[in-house]
Amino acid sequence: MTAGALAFRAAAEVTSGRLDQLLRSVGVLHSGRIDQVEATPIGTGQMAHSVRLAITYDGPSDGPSSLVGKFPSADANSRGIGRSLRAYEIEVGFYRQVAPTVGVRLPRCLYAGFDADTHDFVLLLEDLAPAEAGDQLLGCSADFADRVLDQAVAYHAPRWNDPTLEGIAWLNRSSPEAAATMAALVASLLPGFIERYGARLDADVLGGLELGMEHIEPWWQGPGGARTLVHGDLRLDNLLIDQEADRVWVVDWQTLVLGNGVADVSYFIGGNLLPDERRATETDLVRGYHQRLLAAGVGDLPWDECWRLYRHGSWYGVFLTVGASMLVERTERGDEMFLTDLARHVRHALDLDALGVVGRP
Q: Write the pLDDT tens digit of every residue in 171-184.
A: 999 889 999 999 99
pLDDT at 239: 97
pLDDT at 261: 97
Residues in the chain: 361
What backbone torsions phi and psi does residue 196 show, to the nearest 5 degrees? -80, -45
Of 3.40.50.880, 3.30.200.20, 3.40.50.720, 1.10.3720.10, the CATH number of 11-126 is: 3.30.200.20
CA distances from 145 to 55, 293, 303, 336 (A): 35, 16, 20, 22
pLDDT at 361: 58
- Identify the CA nearest to 19 among candidates 28, 212, 304: 28
Q: How far is the C-alpha of 319 from the C-alpha of 186, rounded, in Å?
A: 7
pLDDT at 4 over 60: no
User: What is the pLDDT averaged over residues 228-237?
Assistant: 97
pLDDT at 2 over 50: no
Task: Give per-residue burial for 113-137: e unless 16+ CB within 10 Å, then b.
Answer: bbbeeebbbbbbbebbeebebbebe
Confidence of residue 360 (pLDDT cuts 50, 70, 90): low
Q: How far is the C-alpha of 279 from the C-alpha of 138, rounded, in Å?
A: 17
User: What is the pLDDT averaged over residues 118-132?
Assistant: 94
pLDDT at 3 over 50: no
User: What is the pLDDT averaged over residues 210-214?
Assistant: 97
Which one has a higher pLDDT value, 45 or 19? 19
Q: How far is the C-alpha of 301 from the C-alpha of 299, rounded, in Å?
A: 6
Residues in CB range of 353: below 8 A, 6 or more apart: 311
Give the 3-state secondary structure of the chain: CCCCCCCCCCHHHCCHHHHHHHHHHCCCCCCCCEEEEEEEEECCCCCEEEEEEEEEECCCCCCCCEEEEEEECCCHHHHHHHHHCCHHHHHHHHHHHHHHHCCCCCCCEEEEEECCCCCCEEEEEECCCCCEECCCCCCCCHHHHHHHHHHHHHHHHHHCCCHHHHHCCCCCCCCHHHHHHHHHHHHHHHHHHHHHHHHHCCHHHHHHHHHHHCCHHHHHCCCCCCCEEECCCCCHHHEEEECCCCEEEECCCCCCEEECCHHHHHHHHHHHCCHHHHHHHHHHHHHHHHHHHHHCCCCCCCHHHHHHHHHHHCCHHHHHHHHHHHHCCCCHHHHHHHHHHHHHHHHHHHHCCHHHHCCCC
Q: How far is the C-alpha of 148 from the C-alpha of 249, rounded, in Å?
A: 9
What backbone torsions phi and psi does residue 329 show, to the nearest 5 degrees? -55, 135
Least confident of 55-59, 252-256, 357-361: 357-361
pLDDT in tens, 25-71: 999 999 999 999 999 998 766 678 899 999 999 999 999 999 999 99
- Identify the CA nearest to 342 among candidates 182, 191, 198: 198
pLDDT at 245: 64
Confidence of residue 1 (pLDDT cuts 50, 70, 90): very low
Confidence of residue 322 (pLDDT cuts 50, 70, 90): very high
- C-beta of residue 67 within 8 angstroms of C-beta of residue 55: yes
User: What is the pLDDT averaged over residues 74-102?
Assistant: 92
CATH code for the part of the protein at 133-357: 3.90.1200
Handedness of CA 134, 197, 278, 320 (dihedral sign): positive
Q: What percent of the chain has pLDDT over 90?
A: 87
Domain spans, the chain? 11-126, 133-357
pLDDT at 78: 82
The amino acid that residue 218 corresponds to is P
User: What is the pLDDT averaged over residues 169-196?
Assistant: 95
User: What is the pLDDT averaged over residues 312-324?
Assistant: 97
Supply the mean pLDDT for the chain: 94
pLDDT in tens, 95-110: 999 999 999 999 999 9
Q: What percent of the chain has pLDDT over 70?
A: 97
pLDDT at 23: 97
Q: How far is the C-alpha of 155 from the C-alpha of 229, rounded, in Å?
A: 7
What backbone torsions phi and psi does residue 249 show, to the nearest 5 degrees? -120, 145
